[in-house]
Amino acid sequence: MESGIPLLGEDFPTMEVVTTHGTLNLPSDMVGKWFVLFSHPADYTPVCTTEFVAFQKRFAEFKELNCELIGLSIDQVFSHIKWVEWIKDNLDVEIEFPIIADDMGRVAAKLGMVHPDKGTNTVRAVFIVDDKGKLRIMFYYPQELGRNMDEILRAVKGMQTSDAKGVAIPAGWPNNELVGDSVIVPPANNVATAKERTGASDCYDWWFCYKKI
């Protein structure tokens, strides 16, 4: 199967998928919403179980951002269903988001989720797609390292803030070492604005200014 990774800013590839919540057409069924599509190596594995619990614990926060969660692995839908039941019965956590059953590996191939040097299962890929179906962020983690869901949540918040306010988001926002919870304003693009900003209290220099939102 031919593999490939879509590029940031491109339309998310169209696909029909089978999930634990029925058939989904992506990205059309999500138009008007953001979504996070994330792959895990396999059901009934410890690190993946911790990740699913962590995603579910933040499910309401993603919902508040108009953002849906969608899981995926190269397992059959029956395996997903039983694993979700196991999580509910043994960990008292009910997984509310759908999980794609990519047992033929078509979605994984389309999105470059299988990396041969890391085995035949999907790596821990994350695709953040906006409400217009555009791919905005990608993360890739190896099987042996579980993801930080707070960072994924922060990434969605950051991109939505950037879009809404026309600003850039600093490292570690909203807890940046230099500007705290402020955001970065676009750099000056003319001499007059550069002179105006030089020496301002909310600028380190004319090209590095910030503001509260």
Give the pLDDT confidence of 47-97 residue by residue, as tens digits. Answer: 999 999 999 999 999 999 999 999 999 999 999 999 999 999 999 999 999
Q: What average pLDDT score do residues 174-197 get? A: 92
Instruction: Give me the catalytic one of 48, 67, 203, 209.
Output: 48
Residue 38, pLDDT score: 97
Q: What per-residue confidence (pLDDT) applies to 117?
A: 85
pLDDT score of 188 more than 90: no
Look at residue 4 in the predicted model and tell me its pLDDT. Answer: 60
Would you call 48 a catalytic residue per the annotation? yes
Which of helix, strand or coil describes residue 187?
Answer: coil
User: Nearest to residue 148, comparing CAs of 5, 47, 74, 7?
Assistant: 47
Distance CA 138, CA 126 (A): 5
> Model confidence at 3, in pLDDT bands (50, 70, 90)?
very low
Q: Cα separation of 183 and 51, whole Å?
A: 30
- Band (pLDDT 50/70/90 cuts) for residue 2 is very low
Query: What is residue 194's predicted lDDT score, i.e. its pLDDT?
Result: 86
Strand order in 135-141's β-sheet? 22-26, 15-19, 99-101, 67-73, 34-39, 124-129, 135-141
Look at residue 187 in the predicted model and tell me its pLDDT.
87
Summary mean pLDDT of the chain? 94
Q: How far apart are CA 58 and CA 62, in angstroms?
A: 6
| All domains in the chain, ordered by first residue | 15-148 (3.40.30.10), 166-213 (3.30.1020.10)
